[in-house]
A and B are shown apart, each in its own frame.
Chain A
Amino acid sequence: MQKLDAKIPQGPLADKWSQYKAGLRLVNPANKKKIEVIVVGTGLAGAGAASSLGELGYKVKVFCFQDSPRRAHSVAAQGGINAAKNYKNDNDSIYRLFHDMVKGGDYRAREANVYRAAEVSNQVIDHFTAMGVPFARDYGGSLDTRSFGGVQVSRTFYAKGQTGQQCLLGTYSSLNRQIAKGTVKLFPRRDMLDVVIVDGKARGIITRNLLTGELERHSAHAVVLATGGYGTVFYLSTLGLGSNASAAWSAHKKGALFANPSFIQIHPTSIPVLNDYQCKLTLMSESLRNDGRVWVPNEKGDKRHPGEIPEAERDYYLERRYPAFGNLVPRDVASRAAKERCDAGYGVGDTGLSVYLDFKDAIEKQGKKAIEDKYGNLFEMYEKITGINPYTQPMRIYPAGHYTMGGLWVDYNLMTTIPGLYAIGESNFSDHGANRLGASSLMQCSGDGYFILPNTISDYLADDIRTGAIPTEHTSFDEAEQEVEDRIRRLMAVRGKQTASSFHKRLGKILWDHCGMRRDAEGLKKGMKLLDELEEEFWGNICIPGSDRDYNQELEKALKVADFFEVGRLMCEDALQREESCGAHFREEHQTETGEAKRDDANFAYVAAWEYKGKKEKPTLHKEPLKFEYVELKERSYK
C-alpha cells in the first residue's frame, strides 16, 4: 500500500488554493471533447460537477438511481447554506468560517481543505443567486441570513425551510441546460454496483438498469463519485430510503481507502419514532433552535401535558449546561445532552425517548406571523406527521442518524487512493472532521462540485488527451461485471423467508445500540459479533421474490443491506481503535468530569484511513497525521 499523501500545497493558508490552482494543468478545448467523465449521483455535488464539466466541454455521463436528478437527497436539506459574506457586519470572514468549522469538527479535519471550502463559499452563493435560486431577502432587497448552531455570527442563507430543495433545483437547472446542449448524457434509474479499474486507473463503472435489471458497462477517462453518505446504515435515519453506501463501498473494495467511518452525525432535532413499522425519521431543521427552547420536566417520569407544567418545574437543560451558546450548541453536544436526559428518566412522550422543543416564548415575543414566516413549512410538516399543532403545543424531538462525516479518503485534489477516481460531497471524508456544523454540507457539496473538482480533475485528465475512447471490452470490465452478476445470483438463490427490510432494521438496531451516540469497547466488540451473526443469517435466509432481470425493488434493497453489514463492521472497528472522544464520536471511557468529550490530541490527531483486505480479513489502518498550523487546539467549550 502506498504512503498516504494528502498533496496539501505549500504556502500560507489563505494563498494555498489560488497558488495551487494557478499551477494546475489545463486541457485545451479541442481535446476536452475527446475526454469522457462519469459522474455518479445528481445531488448538489454530482449535478454541480457534471454541469460544470459539461460547460467546460468534457463529455459527461451522469447517473442517478431516481427517475429524475431533481430527487437526489440534497433536496431534503432544510435549514440553509453557509457563506462568509459578512452581510450582517458581524465581523464574519473566510477565516472565521474556517475556524468555526475546524473547531466545530473537533479538530479532526484538514486545515487546507476546510479553508478552501470556506473560500469558495461566497462564489457558491453568487452562483445560486444568478441561477435564480430564490433565497430569502430583507425588505431592502438584499439577501437575508440567519444564525445556526455552533457559531456566533449570522452567515446562513436560506429559502424558508427548503434551502436544499431550492439549491438542488438550481443545480438541476444547470444540469438540464447541459443535457439539452448534449454535453451531458443522463442515465437515470441506475444503481452503480462496481467501479472498473484498468491498468491501475478508474476507467468505468458497472450499473444495473433498475427497470430492466440488465447490467451495463460504462467507460470514461475518470470517474467521480458523488453518491452521498451512508447514514441509512442505521435503518432509521433522516435520509431518503434509497440512499446507500454501495457505490462508495464497491470503490473501497477495489482499493480506495475509507476514512473515519465511525464519524456519523446524530442530529438532535428529529421527530421521534411513532410506530413499529416506521422506516424513516423526519428532521426538524436545526434553525428551529434559534427560536425554540429545549426542555424536559424537572421531575422524572412527569406525565403531565406540557402546558400544565409551570415554568419553575421545567429544566431548560441546554441553557443550564451551556450558558454561552444555550440552545445553539453544536449538534453532537445537543444530541448527547438529549440522550443523557432521556436515559436518566426525564424524557417525555409515551416512550420517554423525546424532549420538548418549545416556541411559546418566541411566539409571545415575535408574534405568530413572524414564526410562521420563518418556519411555516416545518411546522406544517410536523403537524402532518404527528397530528399535533406546534404553535400551541411544544414539538417533541429526539436525535436521529443524519450525516456521515466519514467517507472515501481523498487528497487535496478530491481524488481517492485509486488514480482517476474522485469522491465529492458527502461521499468523501471531507471537511467536517468529527462533527459537521449546520448549513455547511450544502456549502461543501456545492463548492466541491462547481468550483473545486472541475479544476483539479483537469490536471489529471491532461494526461489523457492521447488515450482515446476507453473500450468496454477490456477484461477488467468482464471481471467486474461477472463479480456483480455472481453476487446477484447468490442473493437470488437464497430464497429464504425474511425481507431485506427486516434484516436492515435489525442491523440498524445493532449499530444504533453499539455504535451510536455513546460507545464503549465492550459494546463495539459485541456489536461486531452481532453483525457477523446477522450477516450469516442474512445470506441464509434472505427472501427476494421475482426475477433479477426485472424491475425488482426487493433485490435493490438486498444489495444495499448486504453492503451495510460490511460498512457497519468497519464503523465499529474504527470507533474501537479511536481511544478518545471527539465530536460525534463519544467513547464512555474518555470523558471529562462533567461528561463532555475528552480528546487526545497527542495520540489521535489523525485521519483513520482503512484499507480493505478481503471479506474475512482485518482491514489495515493507515494514519494521516493532522497538522494544525493556524488553529490552536483547544478543549471545545460551549459553556
Chain B
Amino acid sequence: MNFTLKIWRQQNARAKGGFKTYPLQDVSPEMSFLEMLDYLNMQLIEKGEEPITFEHDCREGICGSCGLYINGRPHGPQRNTTTCELHMREFKDGETIVIEPWRSRAFPVIKDLVVDRSSFERIMHAGGFISVNTGCAPESNSSPISKLLADKAFDAAACIGCGACVAACKNSSAMLYAAAKIAQYALLPQGRVEAKERVDKMVKQMDAEGFGFCSNTYGCEFDCPKGISVDFIALMNREFFAAKSCGHK
C-alpha cells in the first residue's frame, strides 16, 4: 500500500510547529499504525533526517502511552482501539493520512507528536486513591461486594489514561478521565469513606489545570479506546453535588 502522510513536526515546546508531507511506499496492510511510522522513521534516519518523535511502549493497547490524532480523530478511525492496535488494513491504498498530537491547552506539545500529560497526574495526586496503608487491609472476603458493582467498577477502572477523551472534546474536558476514577471508587464500599472529599478535590484540580467543562456531546465516549461510558460523568456529577451539600466548597 502507498500513503501520503501529513505529519505535525515541532522541534520543542517553544518552537513553531507545522505539517510536513511524507510519501510512503510499500506499506504492508499487516503493519500496525506505529510500525508504519517506525518504517518511515527508519527511512528518515537512513537519509540523515531526524525521525518523528512519538510516544509508545506496550504496543498492545494497555499502557496508554501512544495517542495520535489521526484524520481528525483520536486514535484514528477504528472504535475501541488505541493507535498501537490500529492496523494499516483499516486505511485505503493511496489515502492521505493526517497525523497530529493531542490538541488541548492542558496538554502542551513537547516535541512532534508527544504532549505533556502531567496535568492528568496532578488530578490523580489530588485524590485518585483510597487511603489505606500497607498492612491494614482486612481479609478480602470479609465484606462481600455485589458482582454487579464490582463489574461496573471494573468498567470504569479500565481507563488507560491516554487522553483521547480530552482530544476528542471540543471543550478539552477531562471529565471522562476524572469520572472514571471517581466512579470506580464511589461504586465500591471501600472507596465510599472518602468519596466526597475525593470528588471535590479531583474536580477542583481538573479545573485548575485548564480543562474545559462537559457539554454532553459524548465525543469522549465515542473515541475512548476502552469504551468508557459517559454514565460515569453523570455519576461523578451526582457525587459532586452530594459533596457540595455536605459542605465541600
What is A's interface to B at a CB cutoff of 8 Å? Answer: 48, 51-52, 55, 66-68, 70-71, 73, 75-76, 85, 87, 123, 125-127, 129-143, 159-160, 162, 164-166, 169, 172-174, 176-177, 179-180, 186, 188, 211, 240-242, 274-280, 282-283, 380-381, 384-385, 387, 450-451, 454, 497-499, 501-502, 543, 545-546, 550-551, 553-554
A385 to B88, CA, bound (A): 10
Q: Could you tell me if B134 and A73 are in contact, using CB atoms closer than 8 angstroms?
A: no
A173 to B159, CA, bound (A): 13
Q: Could you tell me if A160 and B154 are in contact, using CB atoms closer than 8 angstroms?
A: yes
Q: Could you tell me if A126 and B140 are in contact, using CB atoms closer than 8 angstroms?
A: yes
Whether B246 is near chain A, meaning CB under 8 Å from some CB there, is: no
Report the minimum CB–CB distance from A455 to chain B (whole Å): 10
Q: Could you tell me if B58 and A240 are in contact, using CB atoms closer than 8 angstroms?
A: yes
> Do A66 and B140 contact each other (CB < 8 Å), given the known contacts A165-B62, A387-B89?
no
Q: Could you tell me if A277 and B132 are in contact, using CB atoms closer than 8 angstroms?
A: no
Cβ of A131: which chain B residues have Cβ within 8 Å of it? 129-130, 132, 137, 190
Cβ of B62: which chain A residues have Cβ within 8 Å of it? 75-76, 162, 164-165
> Do A545 and B140 contact each other (CB < 8 Å), given the known contacts A76-B60, A240-B58, A282-B60?
no
List 26 A-B residue pairs with CB atoms under 8 Å apart, sorted by A's residue number: A52-B134, A67-B55, A67-B118, A68-B120, A70-B63, A71-B63, A75-B63, A127-B137, A130-B132, A131-B137, A132-B184, A132-B185, A134-B153, A164-B62, A165-B62, A173-B128, A176-B128, A211-B110, A242-B57, A275-B31, A279-B59, A282-B59, A384-B78, A545-B45, A545-B48, A545-B50
A499 to B81, CA, bound (A): 29
What is B's interface to A at a CB cutoff of 8 Å? Answer: 12, 28, 30-32, 35-36, 38-39, 41-42, 44-46, 48-51, 53, 55-65, 78, 80-81, 85-87, 89, 110-111, 114, 116-118, 120-121, 124-126, 128-141, 144-147, 150-151, 153-154, 157-158, 160-161, 184-185, 188, 190-191
Cβ of B153: which chain A residues have Cβ within 8 Å of it? 132, 134
Cβ of A73: which chain B residues have Cβ within 8 Å of it? 57-58, 63
Cβ of B125: which chain A residues have Cβ within 8 Å of it? 176, 179-180
A497 to B51, CA, bound (A): 14
A569 to B142, CA, bound (A): 51
A564 to B180, CA, bound (A): 40
A136 to B145, CA, bound (A): 10
Q: Could you tell me if A384 and B85 are in contact, using CB atoms closer than 8 angstroms?
A: yes
Cβ of A188: which chain B residues have Cβ within 8 Å of it? 118
Q: Could you tell me if B157 and A134 are in contact, using CB atoms closer than 8 angstroms?
A: yes
**In the complex, which of the residues B35, B128, B137, B154 contacts A279, with contact meaning CB atoms closer than 8 Å?**
B35
Q: Could you tell me if A71 and B150 are in contact, using CB atoms closer than 8 angstroms?
A: no
Report the minimum CB–CB distance from A284 to chain B (whole Å): 10
A169 to B158, CA, bound (A): 10
Q: Could you tell me if B64 and A71 are in contact, using CB atoms closer than 8 angstroms?
A: yes
Q: Could you tell me if A387 and B51 are in contact, using CB atoms closer than 8 angstroms?
A: no
Cβ of B116: which chain A residues have Cβ within 8 Å of it? 67
Cβ of A140: which chain B residues have Cβ within 8 Å of it? 144
Report the minimum CB–CB distance from B152 to chain A (whole Å): 9
Cβ of B124: which chain A residues have Cβ within 8 Å of it? 172-173, 176
Cβ of A66: which chain B residues have Cβ within 8 Å of it? 57, 63, 65
Q: Could you tell me if A137 and B147 are in contact, using CB atoms closer than 8 angstroms?
A: yes
Q: Could you tell me if B46 and A134 are in contact, using CB atoms closer than 8 angstroms?
A: no
Cβ of B130: which chain A residues have Cβ within 8 Å of it? 130-132, 173
Name which of A55, A160, A188, A240 has the most chain B CB atoms within 10 A of its CB.
Answer: A240
Cβ of B132: which chain A residues have Cβ within 8 Å of it? 127, 130-131, 174
Q: Could you tell me if B137 and A70 are in contact, using CB atoms closer than 8 angstroms?
A: no
Cβ of A282: which chain B residues have Cβ within 8 Å of it? 59-60
A71 to B60, CA, bound (A): 12
> Do A554 and B45 contact each other (CB < 8 Å), given the known contacts A132-B153, A380-B80, A545-B51?
yes
Cβ of B190: which chain A residues have Cβ within 8 Å of it? 129-132
Report the minimum CB–CB distance from A86 to chain B (whole Å): 11
Report the minimum CB–CB distance from A79 to chain B (whole Å): 13
Q: Could you tell me if A126 and B89 are in contact, using CB atoms closer than 8 angstroms?
A: no
Q: Could you tell me if A166 and B85 are in contact, using CB atoms closer than 8 angstroms?
A: no
Q: Could you tell me if A241 and B59 are in contact, using CB atoms closer than 8 angstroms?
A: yes
A546 to B161, CA, bound (A): 30
A134 to B35, CA, bound (A): 33
Cβ of A186: which chain B residues have Cβ within 8 Å of it? 121
A282 to B185, CA, bound (A): 30
**In the complex, which of the residues B42, B45, B65, B131 contacts A177, with contact meaning CB atoms closer than 8 Å?**
B131
> Do A451 and B89 contact each other (CB < 8 Å), given the known contacts A87-B141, A129-B190, A277-B28?
no
Considering the complex, give the chain B residue whose CB is closest to the CB of A497. B46
**In the complex, which of the residues B55, B86, B147 contacts A141, with contact meaning CB atoms closer than 8 Å?**
B147
Closest 3 pairs (CB-CB, A-B): A141-B144, A130-B137, A173-B129
**In the complex, which of the residues A143, A176, A501 contacts B129, with contact meaning CB atoms closer than 8 Å?**
A176
Cβ of B158: which chain A residues have Cβ within 8 Å of it? 162, 165
Report the minimum CB–CB distance from B129 to chain A (whole Å): 4
Q: Could you tell me if A75 and B58 are in contact, using CB atoms closer than 8 angstroms?
A: yes
